[in-house]
Amino acid sequence: MPESAASNSTVQRLMEDISRQQFPASALYVTATPIGNTGDITLRALCLLTLADAIACEDTRNTSQLLARYGLSKPLIAVHEHNERERAAQIIERLHGGERIALVSDAGTPAISDPGARLVEAVAAAGLRVIPLPGASAAIAALSASGLLDNGFHFVGFLPSKAAQRDAALQELRALPATLVLYEAPHRIEQTVGALALAFGGERKIVIARELTKLFEEIHRCQLADAANWLATDKNRQRGEFVLLVEGAPVVTDTGDAEAQRVLEILLTECTVSQAAALAAKITGQKKNRLYEHALQLKNGAC
Ligand code: SAM
């Protein structure tokens, strides 16, 4: 760390100011923690974690290691997929007793492809406050460095692990004009990238964001057709944690023929997307693929 930053008394003053801010009792604090780099925690999160009576977390070992890096140690409550409802009742009782309880996950923002949503829902339904302490999230970090935000984004998270369900999910997403945001684990990265190219065609852009904020951070931009090859070129590229961003479907605002648009709209009231595209292609002489994309967008209300 540069000396000026290490000895910066402004940071200490800020911490003191923030710890004098309101941290209401009887509240659940949904607290983001780093996605890799220990420095990516907010001063407000550090103050809250210091003040909290207990910390609800996904994995007590991971969280106690994280807390130790900041010189903290707190009573931990394990809250995971299988016990979230049951733990919610205990946490609500403690909150009614006036405690401040933080909710953290193993990395990033709780409840984003992580446990926490059911607990939050139960606490809010009990009439208690839920206070977000925003910070790192892999999806937002990747998007911010992608340059792919022209048409907004659609957060997918993890695709289903079974191939048939994954491919069905991709077909549902195929016509969306928004950038798709996916999380993926290293053991599935190759198959997923292959499935994306098959489902969407090779031309769309993909951004592969790997190990964000960590030592081996890498952000690779290419077309879907070239992504598998890039991963295969160096086995190290298949290691670590991944966010995949895929450019949305081209927005078809004009079929090039107002008549084709009119025909598609009529056919869609009676036929499936694929039948409508096939018939419209025969009637208008336009390309079926292009009409299919347009029909999907009309059906999803995207144009
Ligand atoms: N709650 C977290 C968030 O706010 O981003 C996400 C938790 S989810 C269980 C974990 C997945 O997020 C990983 O499998 C990976 O896809 C992605 N991820 C987490 N940290 C990452 C990082 N440092 N770089 C790239 N992707 C990351």
Cβ–ligand 1 contact at 108 (below 6 Å): yes
Inside any domain, residue 56? yes
For residues 109 and 274, give the distance between their C-alpha atoms in angstroms, rounded to a whole number: 40
Same domain, 122 and 160: no
CATH code (residue 18): 3.40.1010.10
CB 178 within 8 A of CB 154: yes
Q: Is there a single domain that holds both residue 75 and residue 184?
A: no
Domain-ending residue, one of 102, 136, 170: 136
Q: Which of 80, 112, 182, 242 to mutate to test the pocket of ligand 1 (most atoms within 8 A of CB)?
A: 242
Identify which of 95, 199, 125 has the alpha carbon closest to the alpha carbon of residue 156: 199
Placement of tokens 């009676």 in the chain: 270
For ligand 1, pick from 37, 59, 113, 143 the residue to mutate: most ligand atoms within 8 Å of CB.
113
Q: Is there a domain that residue 273 lies in?
A: yes
Give 102's strand partners. Answer: 29, 55
Residues 236, 271 within the same domain: no
Q: Are residues 131 and 144 in the same domain?
A: no
Asked, for residue 251, whether it belongs to a domain, the answer is no
Q: Is residue 276 part of a domain?
A: yes
Domain C-terminal end among 210, 227, 246: 246
CATH number of the domain that 172 lies in? 3.30.950.10
Q: How many domains does the chain have?
A: 3
Q: Ligand 1: which of 42, 63, 81, 183 to mutate, judged by most atoms within 8 Å of the beta carbon?
A: 183
58 in a structural domain: yes
Burial letters 238-277, b for 16+ CB under 10 A, else e: bebbbbbbbbbbebbeebeeeebbebbeebbeebebeebb
Sheet holding 153-158, edge to edge: 153-158, 179-184, 242-246, 205-210, 218-223
Indicate if 89 and 205 belong to the same structural domain.
no
Both 157 and 129 in one domain: the answer is no
Asked if 51 contacts 23 with a C-beta cutoff of 8 angstroms, the reply is yes
150 in a domain, yes or no?
A: yes
**Cα 79 to middle of ligand 1, angstroms:** 18
Asked whether residue 237 falls in the same domain as residue 215, the answer is yes
Confirm or reject: Cβ of 213 under 6 Å from ligand 1. Answer: yes
- The Cα 95–Cα 101 span in angstroms is 7
Size of the chain, expressed as the number of residues it contains = 303
pTM for the predicted model, two decimal places: 0.84
Q: Do both 54 and 163 map to the same domain?
A: no
The torsion angle over the Cα atoms of residues 170, 173, 178 and 183, rounded to 10 degrees, is -40
53 and 106 together in one domain:
yes
Which pLDDT tens digits describe the chain residue by residue (303 residues)? 556 665 678 888 888 999 888 899 999 999 999 999 999 999 999 999 999 999 999 999 999 999 999 999 999 999 998 899 899 999 999 999 999 999 999 999 999 999 999 999 999 999 999 999 999 999 999 999 999 988 899 999 999 999 999 999 999 999 999 999 999 999 999 999 999 999 999 999 999 999 999 999 999 999 999 999 999 999 999 999 999 999 999 876 665 667 888 889 899 999 998 899 999 888 888 888 888 888 888 887 655
Place of tokens 């208690």: 128
What is the domain extent for residue 54?
3-136
Question: What distance in angstroms lies between residue 136's CA and the mean position of ligand 1's atoms?
Answer: 10
Alpha-carbon span 49 to 43, nearest angstrom = 10
Residues 147 and 204 in one domain: yes
CB 237 within 8 A of CB 259: no
In a domain, 91, yes or no: yes
Domain boundary among 85, 112, 136: 136
26 domain-assigned: yes
- Among 5, 20, 45, smallest CA distance to 132 is for 45
Are 216 and 117 spatial neighbours (Cβ–Cβ below 8 Å)? Answer: no
> Is residue 130 located within the same domain as residue 148?
no
Q: How many CB atoms lie within 10 A of CB 67?
A: 19
Residues 287 and 191 placed together within one structural domain of the fold: no
